[in-house]
Amino acid sequence: MRACPDPAGAAYFAAALEPHTDNPCETHPPGIQYLHCRVNDATGGESTFADGAAAAAGLKTSWPEADRLLATREIPFRFSHQFMDMRARQRVILNVDIGRVSGVTVSQPMSGGVDLDQDLLDEDYPAFQHFLKMLRDPA
């Protein structure tokens, strides 16, 4: 990617990207994506990857209530630039059936204003922040 003076998305900023999933503001975001680099002649800019399903499984073991919250409540995601404004609500942890993680949805740059009641936000925000820390953990 490259830095742009009027970036259309986080990929065009010069700053590092946090672990994220792409396009959570779409009603049906991409499930599996393949990344391929034919030639890399740049210095620096190492890529990092996170296993979201493993982090979600670890959350279920270490903090079951946080897992339940992130798997049942939808949060807003938004991408707005020039002539487009895309919005969707997604669960952070997706389960095909009880106890089996099928995916995660995380994107700090595209998180919309979380419009939960304050008592729900007081529960959800610490759970979400803890999950983000797990995604950044080198383990």
Q: How far apart are CA 87 and CA 80, in angstroms?
A: 8
Q: Which CATH entry fits the domain spanning 24-136: 3.40.50.1820, 3.60.130.10, 1.10.1740.110, 3.40.1000.10?
A: 3.60.130.10
* All structural domains of the chain with their residue ranges: 24-136
Amino acid at 31: G
- 3-state class (DSSP) for residue 72: helix
**pTM of the predicted protein model:** 0.77
Does residue 6 have a pLDDT over 70?
A: no
Instruction: Look up tokens 């895309």; give the residue.
Output: 86
- Measured CA to CA, the distance from residue 23 to residue 103 in angstroms comes to 14
Number of helices (H), then strands (E), in the chain:
3, 4
Distance CA 81, CA 8 (A): 6
Query: Residue 96 belongs to what H/E stretch?
Result: strand 93-97
Query: pLDDT for 101-130, tens place per residue?
Result: 888 888 877 776 667 788 878 888 899 899
Confidence of residue 5 (pLDDT cuts 50, 70, 90): low
Interval 47-78: pLDDT, tens? 778 888 899 999 999 999 999 999 998 888 88
End-to-end Cα separation, the chain, in angstroms: 27
pLDDT (tens digit, 9 = 90+) per residue, 19-34?
888 888 887 777 777 7
Torsion (CA) 46, 54, 109, 39 in degrees, nearest 10: 30
pLDDT of res. 14: 65
